[in-house]
Structure 1
């Protein structure tokens, strides 16, 4: 229940994942040369007398090195010495712990498999450049993510199993006839996945504007509970940070998630000629309990066709 409360309170007062309390230790006593670690130096013994009653001069001592400064916590935890060295004990709380348990549940309850391919998004690049001024006037950026959301909503209507939920009993599954597309957002507090409601009814410009709004409010921890629930399919754009392919974990109880890698210019054979094209790596993880590999591949092929030829979205009224 604690995790549920933490997730529900995300938009208002999500608990901090850090705690203060570095351990401070008293300065160590001087250590005699050759003495075991931790043993204080004993008082020096008097030198034996020399002939004539004069004491022998003590040999010059080796210069002492200052003891190393105590390490400081790097993640707000508490330092603790173990047999192999110093460790830091850090509380695991808030959004990060909630998401961690959610991911563990997802992997435990689903037979997750990932298929990978790449889409030629050269045409989308040209559209973005052509409509950059219009997008700027509307205060949005036409990202590849906005096009991917539109492509996925159109493809989900043709492959409804990927927009479903398998019941706990395993005897029924629920086909969602609405399309709320979640977007994974990396924040300082951890990963959050708000969703764009009824994405199939919105234009690419509207989707792009909503992405900007959700990202801004996620970073400020101002998302509402309703925005974090009710998703039917999720897209994670890890390529915005780096990486080509991945095996993203499904946002349970959804049954599929699409990962977008880093867009790259690569030489490819296009219409019989070797040309430089812009390629977008895609990784689709799906629950094999409900979705066959062939169905997942066909879905991904359709998403790719929409990304490679966005005019199809207009022709199909998507």
Structure 2
């Protein structure tokens, strides 16, 4: 038997390192040639690393979430025949580490230490200011109390008939009055409850790590300027419902997003500086003729932005079909590298959870992102009276380094005008 070291290969495209995001094997597993050992993520794609030979896993080089340089040891295998030396003698065998006791999501992790059970000690009782309920006295029964206590009770507004005396013959004492004023003892916490001191550590890795880094870099480098505008979408929703009913099953279902994309296509030629990338290292703005719209999509692994390319060459239903296809590919993990890059402006929506307003983060190096918020039926003053209208906010952010506030506001106002009179989207010129 011989030990064979499997190293992180050169994945190409100038990639110098990759993050191990998932192990498909554990120490002690028997593997076959071409069986997937691990998945690694680069800035460009997720790549599966196959086994070069049959063998048994004797060691894993790193934990999931570790970034490795190309050429670093990934796995050690015990194989049936020695590997012929290439650049020198094979790496000496090392004792295999003890087999980890638990496997989570395809990679090995030590089980988290259990938090000690907290010691629950009885706390001193707290008291409520609410007077306790007392058994009523018999009608006409006069409570026994001294004149001084009666005066004190009168000053405090206490009806002595609500008190039970603990003195001789049921006489009410000052201690009884004090106890009544304090109220009944209330436990500091509900019975059967205890403080929870557990702490769970969740490692940020893979796609979530890359999202975190991209958001932090965008926030650090982009001078964000947000602008919120209210849009009356009553006519838009009436048209959308009518078109969906008319072409149900024959054409893709229309959501508000295709209408917004169509509006961007009509407006952006008048605002070329917003369909652009800003190279802040070279201090150059790259303006694009084609409108490549990033559609932010929530997936099980995190936020992805598949790209609807050349929206300017597509009709409304074609846009709707492509938006749906891209969203499904992103959620299923089947979107290609090309479908997840190259956007020139981004649209983001939280759907029914859209809230009243939001402050989306610019998808750097783009300079503009348009956010769709929740639709709400509101009373609106229209033509001398208050009428119910379906309203929706557009919450957008811009890179203030290259986009002036006036241009940003004018751009959103132009989009608003088309959405409020959606028939204009179907008119030429």
Instruction: Give the 3 Å change call, closer, same or farther, for CA 226–135 of structure 1 in structure 2.
Output: farther
The CA RMSD over aligned residues, in Å, is 3.0
Q: Quote how far apart the aligned CAs of 1:173 are.
A: 1.2
1:2 lines up with 2:26 in the alignment: no
Instruction: Give the 3 Å change call, closer, same or farther, for CA 212–10 of structure 1 in structure 2.
Output: farther
Alignment partner, residue 338 of structure 2: 226
Alignment partner, residue 242 of structure 1: 354
Instruction: For 1:237 and 1:25, locate their aligned partners in 2 and report how far apart those are by CA, in whole Å.
Output: 40
**Where in structure 2 are there 5+ consecutive unaligned residues?**
1-16, 20-39, 50-63, 66-103, 122-192
Alignment partner, residue 92 of structure 1: 204
**Where in structure 1 are there 5+ consecutive unaligned residues?**
34-67, 72-84
Instruction: Give the 3 Å change call, closer, same or farther, for CA 269–10 of structure 1 in structure 2.
Output: farther
User: Cα deviations across residues 252-286 of structure 1 (Å, max 9, x unaligned)?
Assistant: 10001011100111111123331111111111100
Q: Quote how far apart the aligned CAs of 1:172 are.
A: 2.2
Instruction: Give the 3 Å change call, closer, same or farther, for CA 21–314 of structure 1 in structure 2.
Output: same
Q: Quote how far apart the aligned CAs of 1:301 are.
A: 0.1
1:160 lines up with 2:160 in the alignment: no
- Relative to its length, the structure with more helix (as a share) is 1
* Contact residue 10 and residue 221 of structure 1 kept, 8 A: no
1:260 to 364, 369, 372: 372
SS at match of 1:262: strand
SS at match of 1:275: strand
Instruction: Give the 3 Å change call, closer, same or farther, for CA 238–25 of structure 1 in structure 2.
Output: closer
SS at match of 2:198: strand
* Contact residue 292 and residue 307 of structure 2 kept, 8 A: yes
Higher relative contact order (CA closer than 8 Å, sequence separation 6+): 1
* Contact residue 252 and residue 317 of structure 2 kept, 8 A: yes
Q: TM-score, normalised by structure 2?
A: 0.57
User: Cα deviations across residues 13-72 of structure 1 (Å, max 9, x unaligned)?
Assistant: 9x99966543366999xx9x9xxxxxxxxxxxxxxxxxxxxxxxxxxxxxxxxxx9xx9x
* Contact residue 239 and residue 262 of structure 1 kept, 8 A: yes
Structure 1, 88-97 or 260-269: larger mean CA deviation: 88-97
Alignment partner, residue 298 of structure 2: 186
Q: Quote how far apart the aligned CAs of 1:11 are.
A: 9.3
- Relative to its length, the structure with more strand (as a share) is 2
Alignment partner, residue 396 of structure 2: 284
1:125 lines up with 2:141 in the alignment: no
Q: How many residues align?
A: 266
Alignment partner, residue 220 of structure 2: 108
Q: Quote how far apart the aligned CAs of 1:316 are.
A: 3.7
Instruction: Give the 3 Å change call, closer, same or farther, for CA 192–11 of structure 1 in structure 2.
Output: farther
Structure 1, 278-287 or 265-274: larger mean CA deviation: 265-274
Q: TM-score, normalised by structure 1?
A: 0.76
2:111 to 18, 22, 27: 22
Structure of greater Rg: 2
1:271 lines up with 2:406 in the alignment: no
Instruction: For 1:273 and 1:220, locate their aligned partners in 2 and report how far apart those are by CA, in whole Å.
Output: 49
* Contact residue 292 and residue 345 of structure 2 kept, 8 A: yes
Q: How does 1:287-298 map to 2 (within 5 A)?
A: 287-298=399-410
